[in-house]
Amino acid sequence: QPDDRGLIGEVPVLRVTRRGPEAVHFVPAALEPGAEVLLSLDWERRFDHMQQHSGQHLITAIAEQMFGFKTTSWELGHQRSVIELDTPSMTAEQIEALERSVNEKIRERVPVVVRELAADDPEIETVRSRGLPDDHAGPVRVVDIKGIDSNMCCGTHVSNLSDLQVIKLLGTEKGKKNKTNLVFLAGNRVLKSIEQSHSTEKALTSLLKNGPGEHVEAVKRLQTSVKLLQKNNLNLLRDMAVLIARDFKSKAVQSQLFVLHRKEGDSEFMNIIANEIGTEETLLFLTVGDEKEAGLFLLAGPAEAVENLGPRVAELLGGKGAGKRGRFQGKATKMSRRGEVQALLQEFISHRSPEA
């Protein structure tokens, strides 16, 4: 269970951890030894943890009683909690029955009692436990859900199951080593989840111009439309790449350096141009993406020139890349420096010997 937070006087508590029998508090400022202070607890955080932890005890106990599924570990997460059950799977019917049963116990207002037993008390052997920490000292704390469960625990809990309000099982995920992770929400987290879902539903209703029952079909239609547009756009980019290359090759006098930037495009677009132009004589510097920020680049041309210039081009563009056989390509973060790259390439060409 996550630690409590709050204030010691006016000083916030950043973290609390256990060292043997002591609770060590981490604070950002020194406290005067012996001073009287008012301790203020972050009750919303504490009560949330109480609801989730008592909810876990209840789910664990009922899951074992109904199906024989033992809990091997659990996690109280920031937004949802997970119980690891020693079973390879759970059916939808089992999840539904378990959820129904735990909420019945909540409605029955079953008391939750915390007891302390001496370390040598024989009753400890009858209490559900995964064992005590090696550095444990003092009495053993036992949390009883009357008539349902008795469990060793050092966490904070509600005093009655009615304080849990409701438990929602969100389903299962594949666990490790043939185990199943059961995801759940308890208490106020259920209310917050419903509020968030309702807000999302209202937003989708406004955007999609239809009712909640039609949202899924509307999104499917949009996805189909987007895929078709993407396919058409890709075909147009391919055709454009071929036309750009043919236009360059149709000129009577071809430059030794070909530079092109296009905001819309991808690696395939650049490689089509390079393939169509051919790189035996011409040095190509092609870029796609944002004109001043991030994008992709391709340097193509005579293998020796590309091998020499590729890393320098990547460095100028604030990116990384790799290449072989006359191609060097990668990602750039400083596309605004394309002009510097062009100047570098132009200088290289002007100093290149006729035989190169």
Domain ranges of the chain: 6-41, 43-130+138-205, 240-351
Region 282-299 average pLDDT: 93
Q: Which of 265, 227, 226 is nearest to 244 (CA)?
A: 265
Q: Please report which helix (H) or strand (E) contains residue 289, including its range.
A: strand 283-289
CATH of 240-351, one of 3.40.920.10, 2.40.37.20, 3.10.310.40, 3.30.70.260: 3.10.310.40
- pLDDT over 70, % of the chain: 98
Q: For residue 259, which of 297, 311, 308 has the smallest C-alpha distance?
A: 297
Residue 241 sits at the vertex; the CA angle it makes with 236 and 272, to the nearest 5 degrees, is: 115
Answer yes or no: is pLDDT of 129 > 80: no
Q: What is the pLDDT of residue 56?
A: 98
How much is the mean pLDDT over the chain? 92
Question: What does the pLDDT read at residue 149?
Answer: 94
Cα distances (Å, whole numbers) of residue 231 to 151, 226, 235: 59, 9, 6
Which residues, in sequence order, are CB contacts of 179 under 8 Å at separation 6+? 72, 84, 85, 86, 87, 88
Give percent above pLDDT 90 in the chain: 79
pLDDT tens per residue, range 174-216: 999 999 999 999 999 999 999 999 999 999 999 999 999 999 9
Question: Cα–Cα distance between 168 and 96 in angstroms, integer?
Answer: 10
pLDDT at position 354:
53
| Of 133-137, 188-192, 256-260, 352-356, minimum mean pLDDT range | 352-356
pLDDT of residue 356: 42
Query: From the DSSP assignment, how many helices (H) and strands (E) are in the chain?
Result: 7, 17
Q: Looking at residues 80-100, what average pLDDT do you find?
A: 97
Task: State which amino acid sits at residue 245.
Answer: A
How far apart (Å, rounded) are the C-alpha atoms in residues 88 and 294? 45
Per DSSP, the three-state class of 123 is: helix
Of the CA atoms within 13 Å of residue 120, those in its CB half-sphere come to 0
Q: How far is CA 249 from CA 234, 235, 266, 273, in A?
A: 23, 21, 22, 11
Q: Do domains 43-130+138-205 and 240-351 have the same CATH topology?
A: no
On whether the 43-130+138-205 domain is CATH 3.30.980.10, my answer is yes
Q: Which residues contact 36 (CB under 8 A, 6 or more apart)?
A: none
pLDDT, position 19: 86
What is the C-alpha separation between 272 and 243, in angstroms, rounded? 10
Angle ∠(166,60,50) on CA atoms, nearest 5 = 50
Flag the least confident range among 168-177, 277-286, 307-316, 335-344: 277-286
